[in-house]
Structures are given as C-alpha cells and as structure tokens.
Structure 1
C-alpha cells in the first residue's frame, strides 16, 4: 500500500526538497502553499496534490485535514514545516511581531497537529514531524523570540510523543542547523534598533555562512518519518546542529554555555574553535 505524507510550507527550502524526496521514494504527497500563484509549484512531480493552507488560520484546520485525507484515502505522516523568522533585539521587537512568531511556529503548528491526531489515533498509526531548530537547544542573541518558539515546538513534540504512544503514533522533532533556505530572505526584522546594539549584531552575524543545502534536512525529515523508531524524538541535521549536542556531552552544560557565551561575545577559546570544526566540514555556530 502506497503511503501518504502531508507537508506544509512547500514553495521552497526544506518543504520543497521534502516533497521531491518523498515522491521519489514512491510516497503520495499532499503539499501545502499559502498563495494561489504557487499551486503549480509541484506540477512536474508525480503523485503530488497541492492545496492551499494558511497555517495561521486555525479555524480552517479541521476542514483541511479532511480534504487532505480525501486526496489519497488516508494520511500516514504529517510534516509541520511551515515557519516564520523574526530577528532583532527583543527590546526593538513589537509585541505584534512576537505574537506573530508564536502564532505561526507554535499555535498554528499545534492547531494543525490537533486536526490530524484523531485520524492517526483511530487508525492506530502515524508519524508527526515538527520542524524545530538548533536554536531551540541553544538560545542565540538577536533571535531570542524565534529560538523560544522553536523550543516550544521541541517540548511539545516530546510531550506528545509519550501522550500518543499507546495509539501507535510517533511524534518527532527535527533540529536543523544553518541552512541555505529562503527563510533568511523573508526575515521579519525589528524596527528602530537602538545604536547600542549594532556592534554586537555585526559581531555575531559576521560569522554566518550560507549553511548546508536544504536537501540535508529533507533527508533528516524522511529518516524521522520512515525509520520506525517511535521512541526517538530528536533528529539533528547539518554539521553545526550535530556538533552542539555532542559538545554539550563532552563539556557538560555549564562549561559548554561558558564557551558559547564567550564565542558569541567575540572571545572564542581555542577549545571552542576545535569543537566547531569537528565533523565533515568546518562549522560555525550561527542561526
């Protein structure tokens, strides 16, 4: 029996690559986009149905879940990929920006998950994969609100993993590191940032690279959906994301934080430099 996955936010980045990867492996895919102009984005990919969905519209989720299930008769996995990125000092962020950040990354994700849980519980199977971020494990300056929203996603995923275990449903979270996706071209920046912050912002973001290909995280999402490890929640993608939890294990939480804070304020130690260059390629601890 051909399996079906629902993936949100598929016009670019992780979502686009995930659609293509799942389809190439013989899955049926229900892909979501926010704009009618994007409905043909997957026209060249077989077994893909593209539907409109604004993840912020919580009232539309129940009807969307039924529509998605009707496309191929069932749904075996849900990938909550759609996201929103706010950047800037907390002092300069408006409360509307903060609410918007949580509406998309947390409340919208939770509402859509709730819409699919009865289907998965009834069929006694299913996988839900939520996109978190390595910044959920490691609060970064100037994106503290974004990191907090992704930390909420991580905690939600862990709690729900246990909550739904009796029904054969697994909930997981993927923690990407730095990736070259269009989210960084769609940044909602804080306005009227005080001049006092400029030096710190320039210092911290001056080391940001282009990051790994989105295909790296698409593979991580596919693994989370298909590996059958219902008890496993956390999947790290990209060299920097893999390095951070390993470094914490090596150093312990307190020593690790001291090293990270020194590096983030412009005083990286030789130990830190050696840690962040472990792995397949040089790594920078950036967003």
Structure 2
C-alpha cells in the first residue's frame, strides 16, 4: 500500500518540488494551495489531490485534517511548507506585518500540526516535517522577524519531537539555504524606512547572490527525512550554504562562528568564513574533522 503525504503551500517553488518528488517516488500526495486558480497546478501528476487551504485560518485545520485522511484512507507524513518572507528593519516593520509573519510561518503551522497529531497518535506512526530556514541558525539583518519565525519553527520541532516520540511519531525540521524560488518575489516589505538604514541595507544585499539552489535539492532532503527511519534526528540541512553551517560551527565554535558571521555582515568576510560558508550554488571546501 502506497504511503500518503500532505504538503502545504504547493503552488510554486519548494512546495511544488516536494509534490513532484513524492509523486515520482510512488506516494499518494495531498497538496494544498491557497487560491482557487491554483487548483489545477498538479493536474499532470497521478495520485495527487489538490485541496484549498489557507494556513492562516486556524479553525480550518481540524476539518482539513479529516478531509486529507479521506482522500487516500490514511496520512503518513505532514509537511508544513507554507510560508512567506517579511523584510525590513524591525523598527519600521509594522506590528501587523510582524503578526502576519508569525501567523503564517508559526501559528498556522502549529494549528495544522495539532490537528494531525491525534491521528498519528491513534495509528502510532507518522512524521511531521516543518520547513525552517538557515536563518534559524543566526539572525540575518533586515530579515530579523522572518529569521525569528523560522528559529521558532526549528525549536518547536525539537520540543515536539520529544513530546511525541513515545507514540511512534517523528517531528523534523528541514533548514533550506537560499533557493531559486518565488519567495523573494512575494516579500512583505516594511515601509518608510529611515535613510539611516539605507547604507546598511544596500551593503548587505549587495553581498547576496541573486540566485540560489534549485528547489529540487530541498525536495530530496525532505524525502530523505520522511523515509530514513531516524526518529532521533530533527535538523536536516539542504543546499550547500545551509549544510555548511553545522560544520562551520564545529570548526569555529558557537562564539567564533557568530564573530565571523557578524564580521561578514558588517564588514568584509574573512577568507576562512568565505571558504566555510559558500555562496548559494557553490560547494564548500570538504573540511575533514577528526
């Protein structure tokens, strides 16, 4: 019997790549989109049912979970992928923007996880995979609210994994690096930014690569997290710029890594940091650690 996965936020980018990956591997897929116009986005794929879901609507989570189970008779994996990117200095990010960032990236994710946990607990199996970000590892400037929401997702995943381990349920977090997706075309930007910030903003974003890794890279990591059977592992890293971070912290130590990262943002990155943390799409040096 084929297993079934539920994936949220699948109209484009990473979510769409995850749907394609699991469908290609023979899984049943329940894919969610927020707009009716996107209901046909997966029509070319067999064994995929596309349903409407606004993850911001916490009250809809319970009924959606039951509807998802009804599609193929069982759900084995939930991937909380839906999210968006809020950008701008904290000083001028409105409280409405900040609340909306956490509503989608954190509270909606929690509501949907809560809806599926009784189902997984009853069947004594199931995996929840939450899409976090490399920004969960260190706060990026002008993306501090987004980074905070993704750090919350990573910490939540670790805490939940301990709560439900006794029931045969795994909770994992995937931390993608920068990817070539439309998330950066759907930015909620802070308005009326004081001129004092402009030099820092220009300097920071001038250092960022305009492209990133293909979303299929993260789709492959999500698949590995779903099938590897390791219920003790929570954090999975995808794309070279994200996957290099644990190794860099091991080499430099937590404080040393932060010092290098801070210098890379505020001044000029050292040759060591550049070697350890590659630009998106580049490969890091294969450092050997005994």
TM-score past 0.5 threshold: yes
1:29-76 deviations in whole A, cap 9, x for unaligned? 000000111000000000000000000000011000000000000000
Q: Distance in 1 between matches of 2:126 and 2:204?
A: 40
- Quote the residue 2:44 is aligned against: 44
- Quote the residue 1:10 is aligned against: 10
Give the alignment's TM-score, normalised by structure 2. Answer: 0.95
Q: Cα distance 1:196–1:278, how it changes in 2: closer, same or farther (>3 A)?
A: closer
Q: Distance in 2 between matches of 1:46 and 1:145?
A: 38
Q: Cα distance 1:279–1:12, how it changes in 2: closer, same or farther (>3 A)?
A: closer
Q: Which runs of 5+ in 1 are unaligned?
A: none
- Quote the residue 1:272 is aligned against: 273
- Quote the residue 1:215 is aligned against: 216
Give matches, 1:229-244, under 5 Å. Answer: 229-244=230-245
Q: Distance in 1 between matches of 2:115 and 2:278?
A: 42
Report the number of matched residues. 283
SS at match of 1:75: coil
Using the TM superposition, give the Cα deviation of residue 276 of structure 1 relative to its aligned residue in structure 2, in angstroms. Answer: 2.4
Q: Cα distance 1:190–1:114, how it changes in 2: closer, same or farther (>3 A)?
A: same
Matched, 1:151 2:151: yes
Using the TM superposition, give the Cα deviation of residue 94 of structure 1 relative to its aligned residue in structure 2, in angstroms. Answer: 0.2
SS at match of 1:66: helix
User: Moved runs in structure 1, 4+ residues, more than 3 A?
Assistant: 277-280
Q: Distance in 2 between matches of 1:258 and 1:272?
A: 10
Q: Conserved in 1, the CA contact under 8 Å of 2:14 and 2:181?
A: yes
Q: Distance in 2 between matches of 1:174 and 1:81?
A: 10
Q: Distance in 1 between matches of 2:281 and 2:18?
A: 23
- Quote the residue 1:225 is aligned against: 226
- Quote the residue 1:281 is aligned against: 282
Q: Conserved in 2, the CA contact under 8 Å of 1:13 and 1:181?
A: yes
Using the TM superposition, give the Cα deviation of residue 92 of structure 1 relative to its aligned residue in structure 2, in angstroms. Answer: 1.0
Q: Distance in 2 between matches of 1:279 and 1:130?
A: 22
Q: Cα distance 1:129–1:203, how it changes in 2: closer, same or farther (>3 A)?
A: same
SS at match of 1:164: helix
Q: Distance in 1 between matches of 2:273 and 2:243?
A: 15
Q: Conserved in 1, the CA contact under 8 Å of 2:239 and 2:280?
A: no
Q: Distance in 2 between matches of 1:181 and 1:72?
A: 30
Give the alignment's TM-score, normalised by structure 1. Answer: 0.96
